[in-house]
Chains A and B, each alone.
Chain A
């Protein structure tokens, strides 16, 4: 697409774009270096005490302590545990929502639509607080329930779009061979829609994993709370940055690897993977040629 937008650059344009490129790199690297240097400068706080810069060894020595790593590890495990349980429930709720939304009976479809719009329009955080205060479930289940319902609503919409996008012949064929409408939905339409929408669903699960960090508001000791708040306040202000960077690195590792997985699956079971006919590598035979050949054999037979 981008290459269509401009001509293949000639020597002068190539030279210019190379200069732009180099200047861009210099500016970006310069800005990053400046940031690193500014962060590394020793700082004088209001009471006159001088603190060493962020890259000073004294601001990172807490990480020699095994206990710190244990706390971070437990936090990360708590995050993953909440994400895993919530994802399982979200998938189930999503399937139920998609069936309700595309149901033939109006008395199922309309209430489901209203409930779904309600959940989609609410912040997850508010839902967590609501569940925590009203049902007094404890922070873990409050987080899990809110994440499951919210992401379930979104996954349900994706699945419904997938079912709608199927050719109507699929449903008709299912009904024609004598399956009940529900069996058609479960055994013919749903597996195809699920595969079609798998990349979107996994992308939503990455969002879910990110959103587990919201549970720190209701007091769940996940990675963010244990890393930034508990350790940060325990070891004092000078380690705030160090803990922030480590927590950020852990989050990025988890999320980027899940995103990478999503992209791999999207490539393997992309739009064409759900189709019944695999795209052929050999080009289709030209109908004119077929016709001529068929005619030829016929005429020879005669």
Chain B
């Protein structure tokens, strides 16, 4: 236990970096995901095809490979803004197709009758989307979206293997120093992760129940 208390500043620094990665990559992935989802449902065939191929390729690439590309090959191409930023880029790219898929399934989940009704009272494409389909889709999208962000919070640990000092990196360093208290240290790190993931999961469950009643 004293190994945990002695190294608390390191834990907190790691926790801050994990939260930072989660925030930066979360916002980035959301923006990129909205763009990809918009391309995916757009009337323009070439954008649709591009978004589909992008989603398929990124979704089937291991995160470690994406982060390897960011941490080793981007600096090699004379692009090195620091490992934290590189890891954030990698996590953004990796998470964006999952965000896009969640959004798309939300739009597809709105009953066709809603869109038909909107169209038949004379709303245009933009009005139908912004007044009828998206408000409903948004509500249904929140639980899967939160699940994506939970996965992202756990995935930030992979950045610890690529020179970013976040919780997993902290765990590795402290267990190297204090080989005698490995269990306590790793349980402490697990608690920090659970502080992020369990409340998010709880919120997702609550919203899911609320939406289910409304349907």
Contact = CB atoms under 8 A, between A and B. Distances in A.
Nearest to B43: A17
B112 A125 contact: no
Interface in A226-259: 228, 237, 240-241, 244, 247-248, 251-252, 255-256, 259
Contacts of A248: 61, 65
Contacts of B129: 5
Contact of A251 (B65, B189, B198): B65
B65 to A, nearest CB: 6
B43 A9 contact: yes
Contact of B112 (A1, A43, A213): A1
A123 interface: yes
A16 to B, nearest CB: 10
B52 interface: no
B54 to A, nearest CB: 10
Contact of A213 (B64, B125, B133, B175): B64
A244 B62 CA distance: 12
Contacts of B63: 210, 213-214
Interface string A190-227: 00000000000000001000111110110000001000
B62 A5 contact: no
Contacts of A117: 198, 201
A241 B72 CA distance: 10
B182 interface: yes
Contacts of A20: 44, 46-47
B62 to A, nearest CB: 4
A126 B171 contact: yes
Contact of B64 (A17, A126, A130, A224): A224
A129 B186 CA distance: 8
Interface in A16-59: 17, 20-22, 24-25, 28, 39, 43
Contacts of B112: 1, 4
Given A122-B194, A123-B168, A228-B68, A210 B186 contact: no
Contact of B160 (A125, A252, A255): A125
A124 B72 CA distance: 23
Contacts of A244: 65, 68-69, 73
Of the four ranges (under 10, 10 to 19, 20 to 34, 35 or more), the interface on chain A belongs to 35 or more
A219 B124 CA distance: 57
A259 B193 contact: no
A25 B45 CA distance: 9
Given A123-B193, A133-B182, A240 B60 contact: no
Nearest to A209: B62
Contacts of A241: 73, 76
Given A1-B115, A213-B65, A126 B60 contact: no
A104 interface: no
Contacts of B41: 1-2, 5
B64 A121 contact: no
Contacts of B190: 118, 122, 126, 130
A125 B168 contact: yes
Contact of A134 (B125, B168, B186): B186
A122 B193 contact: yes
A17 B46 CA distance: 10
A107 interface: no
Interface string B137-165: 00000000000001000111110110000
Interface string A106-130: 0000000000011011111110011
Interface string B66-82: 00110011001110000
Interface in A124-152: 124-126, 129-130, 133-134
Nearest to B200: A121
A46 B85 CA distance: 23
Given A17-B44, A213-B63, 14 more contacts: A4-B116, A20-B47, A21-B47, A122-B194, A123-B154, A125-B157, A125-B158, A125-B160, A126-B167, A130-B190, A212-B62, A224-B65, A228-B68, A244-B65
8 contacts: A17-B44, A126-B171, A134-B183, A216-B64, A217-B161, A224-B62, A228-B68, A244-B65
Q: Which 5 A-B pairs have the closest CB atoms?
A: A123-B157, A24-B46, A121-B197, A255-B60, A213-B62
